[in-house]
C-alpha cells in the first residue's frame, strides 16, 4: 500500500494520469443515470478550474453535472472512488484464493463500486436540489459508511468457502 501511495502521489497525481479518465467516467455514468431518471432534462457535463479557498491551498479541476444549465453536483478527483478500488483490489490480491475467483471478484467488485459511486453522485445531486442542509453530512458520513459497508460485504462473499452438506438418507 505504501508503494502504491508513493507512486500515486509523485507520478500519477501531478499529471492526473488515472484521476482524469476515472473522474470523467464517474461523472459520465452519473449523468447517464440521471438522464434515465429524468428524460426531459437537459443534462450536460463541464470541466472547470476551482480556485483555492485560501492561500495555503492550490486550486484544482472539477467536473460538474448541469441539469437545465444549473450546476447540481461537482466531482473532484478525490471523489472518483480510486482509493476504494485500490483498497478493494489490494484485499482481493493479497487474500489467498484461486486465480479465477480473484479475477471474477475483482471484476464484479470494481463494477459494483463504480455503479454505487454513480448512484452516490446522483444522490448528492438530488440532495443539493432538495435538502441542501443535509448534503454535506450525507457526503461526509452516510454515503461513506454505505460505500465501505458495500466493500466489506463483497469481501465477505469473496472469503466465503463453499460448505458441503451431507444429508442422511
Whether the predicted pLDDT of 126 surpasses 70: yes
Cβ partners under 8 Å of residue 90, min gap 6: 1, 4
43-50, strands of its sheet edge to edge: 43-50, 60-67, 70-76
- Cell numbers at 165, concatenated: 452438506
50-65 tens-digit pLDDT: 887 776 677 778 899 9
Residue 163 confidence (pLDDT):
56
**Mean pLDDT within 36-56:** 86
Beta bridge partners of 44: 66
List pLDDT tens digits, range 133-166.
888 889 889 999 999 999 999 999 999 876 545 5
Please name the residue that has the C-alpha cell 466465503.
Answer: 160
Q: What distance in Å separates the CA atoms of residue 117 and residue 80, rounded to the nearest whole number? A: 7
Residue 168's pLDDT band (cuts 50, 70, 90): low
Cα torsion through 82, 1, 110, 50, rounded to 10: 0
pTM: 0.85
Amino acid at each position: 500500500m505504501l508503494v502504491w501511495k508513493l507512486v500515486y502521489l509523485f507520478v500519477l497525481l501531478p499529471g492526473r494520469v488515472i484521476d482524469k479518465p476515472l473522474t470523467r467516467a464517474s461523472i459520465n455514468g452519473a449523468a447517464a443515470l440521471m438522464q434515465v431518471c429524468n428524460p426531459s432534462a437537459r443534462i450536460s457535463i463541464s470541466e472547470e478550474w476551482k480556485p483555492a479557498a485560501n492561500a495555503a491551498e492550490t486550486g484544482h479541476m472539477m467536473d460538474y453535472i448541469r441539469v437545465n444549465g444549473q450546476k447540481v453536483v461537482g466531482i473532484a478527483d478525490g471523489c472518483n472512488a480510486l482509493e476504494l478500488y485500490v483498497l478493494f483490489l489490494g484485499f482481493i490480491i493479497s487474500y489467498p484464493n484461486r486465480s479465477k475467483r480473484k479475477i471474477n471478484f475483482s471484476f464484479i467488485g470494481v463494477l459494483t463500486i463504480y455503479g454505487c459511486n454513480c448512484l452516490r453522485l446522483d444522490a448528492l445531486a438530488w440532495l443539493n436540489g432538495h435538502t441542501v442542509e443535509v448534503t454535506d453530512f450525507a457526503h461526509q458520513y452516510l454515503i461513506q459508511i454505505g460505500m465501505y459497508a458495500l466493500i466489506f460485504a463483497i469481501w465477505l462473499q469473496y472469503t466465503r468457502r463453499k460448505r458441503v452438506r451431507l444429508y442422511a438418507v
